[in-house]
A and B are shown apart, each in its own frame.
Chain A
Amino acid sequence: MIAAPFFRWDWVFDHLGLIWEKVSEHLVLTGIALGVGFVISMALALIGLRFPRTYPPITWLTGVLYTIPSLALFAFLVPITGFTVLSAEIGLVSYTLLILIRNIVAGIQGVDPAVREAALGMGYGSRRLFLEIELPLALPVILAGVRIAAVTTIGLVTITALIGQGGVGFFILQGLNRFFNTEIVLGTALSVILAVAVDLVLVLVERLLTPWTAKRTAAS
C-alpha cells in the first residue's frame, strides 16, 4: 500500500475553478468589511474629534467588540441573521472599527499644529481644513490602520466558513471534516498569500497617495 502524499497537487489542479471562486469570495467579504468599517469608523472618529467627550466611550465600545471571541460572535449572530453574508459582515466590520477609529483620530491629531494655525490664518474654513489639509496629512497613519485591519480581516474571514461563508476558509473547514491535509494547507496558504498580497497593494496605494513622504534624490 502506498501512503497518501501529504499534499496532492493533482487535487488542486482539478479544483482550480472552485479555488478561484473562493478566493474571489474571500476578497469580496474582506472588501465589504473594510469599506463599511471605514465609513462607520470615519463617522465615529469625526464625532470623537468634534466632541472629545464622546471619544472615550467610542473607543471603549469598539474595544469591547474587538475582544469578543469571533467564534462566539458568529454563533450569537446566526439565530438573528442566519447563515448569511450579513452575519459574516456584522462580525468582520465590528473587528475593523477599533483599529480604524484609533488610527483616523491619531492621524488627524498628529497633524502639526503650526500647519493648522497657518491654514486657519490664511482663511481656511473648518470643512476645507479637514478635507484639504488634515485628512491628506493624516493619510499615512490612517492607511497604516487600514493595512492592519485588512490583514486581520483576511484571517478572520476564514472563520466565517462556519456560518457558510468564509472564502478560502471553506477549504480549511472541509479539510478538517474530511481529514484531508491538502485542503487544510491550501486554505491556510491562500489566506496567508492573500493577506501579504493585499498588504503589498496597500503599500503601493500609500506611496501613490502620499508622494510628499517619499525620499527624493537631489536631482531636480
Chain B
Amino acid sequence: MNTSGVLLRTTAVAVGLLFLSPLLYGIWISLQTANGFFSGNGEMTLQNYVDAVEKMNFLRYLFNSLIVSGGVTILSLATSIMAAYAFSRFEFRGRDLIFGLVVATLMIPGHITLIPNYLNFAKVGLLDTYAGLILPAVANGFATFFLRQYFRGIPRSLDEAAWMDGANAWKVLYRVIIPMSKPAIYAMGLFIFLGEWNSYVWPLIATDSPDMLTLQIGLARLYKMDAQEGLVNWPLVMAAATLTMLPVLLGFALVERHLVRGISMGAIK
C-alpha cells in the first residue's frame, strides 16, 4: 500500500472511532456499577441491564415501539408505493401539480403540525392510542418522491409486457414494480423505521398512560425518575439506552445490503 493509501485508511479508522466513541463510552458506562462509576474504582457488572428491564417496564415499551414503528413503516410504505406508482406511470389531470404539492410538504417543519394534529386527534379520541401514534406519520412525502424517482427508472416495456400478459394495474405493481424495487423499498423502509423509532416529540404529547409509552419516552422518564432522587444513575440509563438501540442494530444488520444498494441506485437513476 502506498503512503496516500495508508493515510486514507488511518484517517478513515480515526474518523470511524470518533463517531463510535460516544456509543462505546455509553456501553462502557453501562457495564459499571453506580458506585464504581461515581468513585471511579472500575467495578463492573451486568446488573444495570437487568435493572433497566425491570425498572423501566422495558418489554412493554419495546412492544409499543415495535408496533408504532412497524405500523408506520408498513402503512407509509404502502401509501408511498401506491402514490409513487400513480405519479410515475399514469397520466391524469393535475398530476404534476399534485406531485409538486407532495414535494412541498417536505418543506413544512413537523413541529408546525403538532398542535393542529393534537387538537384533531383529541377531537376524534385517538390520543393515547396506537392509531394516534401511527396515523400522523403514514403520509410520507419524501418516500413518495424517492420511490417515484426509482420507479421511473424501471423500463416501461416491462409494464407493457405485463399488460399484454394479462396483468391489471395492481398486478403490474405487485408482480413487476415492487419486486424490481426491493432495494429502494428496503432502504426507504429502514429510514422510516429508524425515524419513527427515534421519534420523541409526538409520542411525548400524544401519549399519557404508562402502558402506551414508547422506548424513547420511557428512557427519558427513567432519566428523570432517577434525577428526582438527586443523582442520575448513569450506568442504568446507559444500559437502557443500549437496549433501546439493539433492535435497530439488528434490523440494520438484516437489511444493510439492500440499504446500501438502495441508496446508490436511487442516486444514479
A and B pair up: no
- Measured CB to CB, the residues of A under 8 A from B are none
- Measured CB to CB, the residues of B under 8 A from A are none
